[in-house]
């Protein structure tokens, strides 16, 4: 009977995942201890070899599948931390960290081309030019995060390149990864916002509702600041984010990648993975300089089993990481690839690797030379075969950034990163939409999606001579403007010229009044 009880206890403990994982050597001094697979770990005793027993509180995860012990203090660099509980007992070590790199201010370029509006002189978004717009396009808007020009911030445009919404960010911050997602069963507008350093950043994930009201500002846990490369909301209401973490290692100071899954409702950490100890610096192709950015992780996705698929630019590789153990299951590309490659299937400096429902893997192949591509691969046993390759008519070679978005109707949307172009291809590979930002701007990823914006602000009206100019930043349902009950004037883009009058009403396609000013 006793041996059976011991076995049952051991099996129960083995089914409980803990983060930081056992024997991790690079945990944060501000780390919480997360238990997944049990809502009742019993008494949790946490003791640092230098800081002693740590007081704290146990907080439940919102899905009822785990808890986190949140310390009331910080651990000491280099110390070993032991965790004892009925659910799991183990230890890990706190990493030693050099002084982190300073962020840099991205300053607006006053010489860059920008749009100007009479009714909204405060908005100076970059111009957007559409080179091709043909039948077969996916209904919806285009989502961009321009940076480097006159003004930077999240931006929505239509298929004619006309502005739908723009929100300037200031103080040296930028907005990246702007798109629509779903949170709490409702559509939301999301992006990463923060300041950059080197090839990464430190900031937060922004979540806004259809009224452009901030619903959440999602931060990484355990003292890490979210990097600019990924902010994905899962159907479970969690966020996938990463951080670049400078740590001291025997081979010198390196930038490791930290991946977290965050419980958005509580801010607690449900999963944490560190590249140090899992991916060796010998896998990099990047030359050593300063704090060595040996991995440069730039995308995180979940596969159907709930494991993680990570893209790392500096190693030219994609990694599958087990949720249960944190171990690398396979490598695609790089110096230690688990797969061989069929004709045209190899890639380099890639971004945005995503498993698809049909079992394929999509990614943006920046390529070291030649031209960049948006490609689809099929992993068959230990071989990767090219299924599809999309290139730009201008044979663009994007040295940085970029992304690929399969659309529900079989089309594919591609953002060409540093080349500032964005394109949509139909299922046969025909180019049906092609546009670009004005010179001096670039864009991390571009997305296509449906969005209904109903701002809480009033329309803006300004008199100029014998006319008035009216706009409503972010309103997507406006079809016409009516002045003092006269015949409606069709909306002509972001800003419409109307006759002089006293009262201006925004009308939808059915003639209903949306707002009055």
321: CATH? 2.120.10.30
Q: Do 289 and 214 reside in the same domain of the chain? A: yes
Q: Do 292 and 314 reside in the same domain of the chain? A: yes
CATH number at residue 60: 2.60.40.3710
* 72 domain-assigned: yes
Helix (H) or strand (E) holding 5: helix 2-14
* 122 domain-assigned: no
Distance CA 285, CA 109 (A): 33
Do residues 319 and 273 lie in contact, with contact meaning Cβ atoms separated by under 8 Å?
Answer: no
Q: Do 341 and 374 reside in the same domain of the chain? A: yes
Residues written for the chain = 517
Domain stops at, among 449, 470, 490: 449
Q: Do 83 and 157 reside in the same domain of the chain? A: no
* 7 domain-assigned: yes
3-state secondary structure of 303: coil
* 110 domain-assigned: no
pLDDT of residue 103: 82
Q: Do 440 and 480 reside in the same domain of the chain? A: no
* 442 domain-assigned: yes
Q: Do 485 and 435 reside in the same domain of the chain? A: no
Distance CA 481, CA 325 (A): 59
Strands 80-84 and 421-425: unpaired
Q: Do 283 and 350 reside in the same domain of the chain? A: yes
* 177 domain-assigned: yes
Do residues 89 and 79 lie in contact, with contact meaning Cβ atoms separated by under 8 Å?
Answer: no
Structural domain including 507 reads 460-516
Q: Do 408 and 482 reside in the same domain of the chain? A: no
* 346 domain-assigned: yes
Helix (H) or strand (E) holding 513: strand 513-516
Reported for 157-161, long-range contacts at CB under 8 A and 24+ positions apart, including other chains, are 157/128, 157/435, 159/130, 159/133, 159/433, 160/130, 160/133, 160/493, 161/127, 161/128, 161/129, 161/130, 161/435
Do residues 389 and 377 lie in contact, with contact meaning Cβ atoms separated by under 8 Å?
Answer: no
* 265 domain-assigned: yes
Domain stops at, among 391, 424, 449: 449
Q: Do 299 and 410 reside in the same domain of the chain? A: yes
Do residues 30 and 219 lie in contact, with contact meaning Cβ atoms separated by under 8 Å?
Answer: no
Nearest to 157 by CA among 133, 121, 135: 133
Helix (H) or strand (E) holding 388: strand 383-390
Domain stops at, among 390, 420, 449: 449
Q: For the whole model, what pTM was predicted?
A: 0.95
pLDDT of residue 14: 58
DSSP of 147-207: BSSS-BS-EEE-TTS-EEEE--B-TT-EEEEEEEEEETTEEEEEEEEEEEETTEEEEEEEE
Count structural domains, the chain. Answer: 3
- The set of residues, in sequence order, having a beta carbon less than 8 Å from that of 499 and lying 6+ positions away, is 467, 468, 483, 486, 489
Q: Do 289 and 339 reside in the same domain of the chain? A: yes
Q: Do 418 and 498 reside in the same domain of the chain? A: no
Distance CA 457, CA 122 (A): 15
- The set of residues, in sequence order, having a beta carbon less than 8 Å from that of 368 and lying 6+ positions away, is 348, 349
pLDDT of residue 107: 83
pLDDT of residue 111: 84
Strands 383-390 and 340-341: parallel
**Regions of the chain short of the pLDDT cut 50:** 1-12
pLDDT of residue 233: 98
Nearest to 122 by CA among 157, 156, 167: 167
Q: Do 474 and 443 reside in the same domain of the chain? A: no
């Amino acid at each position: 009977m006793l041996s059976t009880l011991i076995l049952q206890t051991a099996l129960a403990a083995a089914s409980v995942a803990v983060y930081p994982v056992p024997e991790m050597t690079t945990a944060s001094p501000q780390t919480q201890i997360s238990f997944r697979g049990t809502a009742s770990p019993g008494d949790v005793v946490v003791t640092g070899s230098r800081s002693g027993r740590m007081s704290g509180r146990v907080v439940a995860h919102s899905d009822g599948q785990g808890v986190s012990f949140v310390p009331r203090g910080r651990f000491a660099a280099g110390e070993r931390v032991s965790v004892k509980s009925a659910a799991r007992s183990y230890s890990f070590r706190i990493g030693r960290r050099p002084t982190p790199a300073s962020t840099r201010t991205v300053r607006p370029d006053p010489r860059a081309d920008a749009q100007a509006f009479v009714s909204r002189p405060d908005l100076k978004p970059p111009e957007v030019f559409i080179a091709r717009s043909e039948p077969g396009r996916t209904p919806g808007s285009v989502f961009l995060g321009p940076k480097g020009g006159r003004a930077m911030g999240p931006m929505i445009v239509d298929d004619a390149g006309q502005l739908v919404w723009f929100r300037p960010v200031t103080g040296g911050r930028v907005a990246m990864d702007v798109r629509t997602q779903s949170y709490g069963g409702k559509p939301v507008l999301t992006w990463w916002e923060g300041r950059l350093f080197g090839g990464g950043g430190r900031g937060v994930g922004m979540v806004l509702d259809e009224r452009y009201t901030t619903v959440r500002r999602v931060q990484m846990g355990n003292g890490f600041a979210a990097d600019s490369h990924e902010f994905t909301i899962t159907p479970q209401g969690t966020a996938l984010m990463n951080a670049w973490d400078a740590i001291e290692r025997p081979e010198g100071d390196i930038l490791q990648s930290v991946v977290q899954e965050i419980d958005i409702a509580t801010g607690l950490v449900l999963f944490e993975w560190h590249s140090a100890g899992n991916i060796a610096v010998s896998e990099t192709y990047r030359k050593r300089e300063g704090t060595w950015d040996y991995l440069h992780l730039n995308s995180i996705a979940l596969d159907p089993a709930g494991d993680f698929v990570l893209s790392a630019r500096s190693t030219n590789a994609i990694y599958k990481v087990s949720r249960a153990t944190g171990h690398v299951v396979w490598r695609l590309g790089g110096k230690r690839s688990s797969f061989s490659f069929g004709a045209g299937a190899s890639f380099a400096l890639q971004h945005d690797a995503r498993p698809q429902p049909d079992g394929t893997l999509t990614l943006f192949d920046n390529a070291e030379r030649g031209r960049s591509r948006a490609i689809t691969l099929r992993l068959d046993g230990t071989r990767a075969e090219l299924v599809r390759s999309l290139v730009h008519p201008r044979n663009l070679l994007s040295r940085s950034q970029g992304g690929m978005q399969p659309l529900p109707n079989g089309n594919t949307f591609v953002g060409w990163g540093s080349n500032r172009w964005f394109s949509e291809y139909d299922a046969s590979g025909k180019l049906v939409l092609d546009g670009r930002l004005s010179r001096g701007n670039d864009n991390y990823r571009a997305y296509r999606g449906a969005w209904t914006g109903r701002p809480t602000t009033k329309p803006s009206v300004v008199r100029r001579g014998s006319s008035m100019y009216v706009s409503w930043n972010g309103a997507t349902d406006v079809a016409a403007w009516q002045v003092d009950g006269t015949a409606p004037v069709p909306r002509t883009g972001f800003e419409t010229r109307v006759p002089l009058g006293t009262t201006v009403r925004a009308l939808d396609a059915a003639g209903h009044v949306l707002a009055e000013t």
